[in-house]
Amino acid sequence: EVQLVQSGAEVKKPGESLRISCKGSGYNFPNYWIAWVRQMPGKGLEWMGFIYPADSDTRYSPSFEGQVTMSVDKSIHTAYLQWNSLQASDTAMYYCAREDEVLRPDDMKERGGLGYWGQGSLVTVSA
């Protein structure tokens, strides 16, 4: 069974650093893209970026480039999202999600949406 298990809720002060995690199991972790998605209180979903664990290829949304760092330790099947200096506006639920692959009859693979999600990590930043 594919599972993504995220680290727990965090309460931090502005200016502090933080790293949250997302551990994958039940599948070939290195070979599937992992996305990070932000959801601010009462708001919609925002894609933050992708990381490919096999080679750490990373794609950031322009809105989040320079604000966060995505990394991965493929030896322990874990992806990370890191902030160096949190702001109150970073208060949100953060989800990791795995992108599905669809295998075609000719053995070509196509992308299939974010099929598996972690349970979310709530980050609260308050003085």
Partner 1 sequence: DIQMTQSPSTLSASVGDRVTITCRASQSMSKWLAWYQQKPGKAPKLLIYEASTLRSGVPLRFSGSGSGTEFTLTISSLQPDDFATYYCQQYLSYSLTFGGGTKVEIK
Can you give the binding site for partner 1, defined by CB under 8 A? 33, 35, 37, 44-47, 50, 59, 61-62, 95, 97, 99-100, 102, 110-115, 117-120
Least distance from C-beta 6 to partner 1, angstroms? 9
Q: Are 48 and 97 in contact (CB under 8 A)?
A: no
Q: Is 27 exposed, middle or buried (0-12, 13-18, 19+ CB in 10 A)?
A: middle
Return the structure tokens found at 52. 């490919």
Least distance from C-beta 121 to partner 1, angstroms? 11
Least distance from C-beta 11 to partner 1, angstroms? 18
